[in-house]
Amino acid sequence: MSCQSSEELNELLLEAKHYTKYGTVADYIPALKKANPHDLSAAIYYPDGTCLSAGDIQQKMTLQSISKVLTLALALMDCGEESVFHKVGYEPTGDPFHSILKLELNNPSKPLNPMINAGALAVTHMIKGKNIEERFQRILHFVHELTGNSKITYSQEVAKSEFETSFINRSLCYYMKQDGIITEDVEELICLYTKQCAIELDCFDLARIGVVFAMDGVEPMTGKRLLPADIARLCKTFMVTCGMYNASGEFASKVGIPAKSGVSGGIMGAVPNRLGIGVFGPALDHKGNSIAGVKLLEMLSKKYSWSMF
Ligand code: GLU
């Protein structure tokens, strides 16, 4: 399956691209520093299998925080809503994604939602499998199903680079271990989590993931249900309330679609019942979202009335 380059999308992309100069590439994971801040690409995937693209959509990115939506779906399928939300809350935080602040303020230290790092680590902890390799293979298999692309694997370089520098994520885990939210070995969990974040794909793959969420869990071309509708809806709710870090409120006002971004510069969006979109622009704003990617989504939403509000 391929994507057709679109003149109309390209015009908007070129306009949005001007904003890349105001952003910076994430550097707290050393391997991410290598990205070109001026890159910007996008793909839109429709339920009938049509795909429109602009920019170099062959460019690969790592999932980073976008993986949190997928592990949430998997943990919900594994353990059910009650068990998952026994350990993680439903509420946005307004804090940066790896903040430890609310864990300290709440007693017992339950992370406020599954989209911040503490919550995502607790969610990954709940994914079933007899060892971390099997649990990782289950996550990867889910990505293969959602994208229809079984070639997807992970970047060993990015995983290693993050594993070696995950000081804050280790701190979050130990904090939660004290309160019994996490019971497994922290090094093993960090190893699994850094691999999940390092899964490598492109905008087209992201758009295909987006369309499955847009269609409430059904892959539209095959008609195959990949996740239950109530779980797809729950994931989309978190994408709206906390998917764009502590800029989720502004994004909901200006774009109005469920979306999740990652520090690699990727954004996966789902316009309910209409389409999936994948964007890659590694220059980030000060909250960690792709600066030009958000601009592009703003322009698209305005032009094609995507907002669900
Ligand atoms: N692997 C990153 C971390 O945990 C993901 C952060 C993100 O994309 O927001 O720090």
Mean of pLDDT over the chain: 95
Global pTM?
0.96
Neighbours of 276 (CB within 10 A): 27
Q: What is the per-residue pLDDT for 153?
A: 98
Q: How far is the CA of 4 from the centre of ligand 1 (A)?
A: 31
Q: Do 182 and 81 reside in the same domain of the chain? A: yes
Same domain? For 85 and 177 the reply is yes
Query: Among candidates 248, 213, 169, which has minimal Cα distance to 73?
Result: 213
Q: Separation of 172 CA from ligand 1 center, angstroms?
A: 13
Instruction: Answer yes or no: is the C-beta of 197 below 6 A from any ligand 1 atom.
Output: yes
pLDDT in tens, 62-102: 999 999 999 999 999 999 999 999 999 998 877 777 777 77
Q: What is the pLDDT of residues 220-242, one digit of tens each?
A: 999 999 999 999 999 999 999 99
Query: Does any ligand 1 atom lie closer than 6 A to the CB of residue 162?
Result: yes
Query: Are 157 and 217 contained in the same domain?
Result: no
Residue 1 falls within a domain, yes or no? Answer: no
Any domain includes 309 = no
Summarised one tens digit per residue, pLDDT across range 163-190 is 999 999 999 999 999 989 999 999 999 9
Structural domain of 232: 6-63+201-304
Whether residues 188 and 205 share a domain: the answer is no
Q: What is the pLDDT of residue 105?
A: 78
What's the total number of domains in the chain? 2
Residue 28 sits in the same domain as residue 131: no
Long-range residue pairs from 78-81, CB within 8 A, at least 24 positions apart, any chain: 78/126, 78/127, 78/128, 79/126, 79/128, 81/234
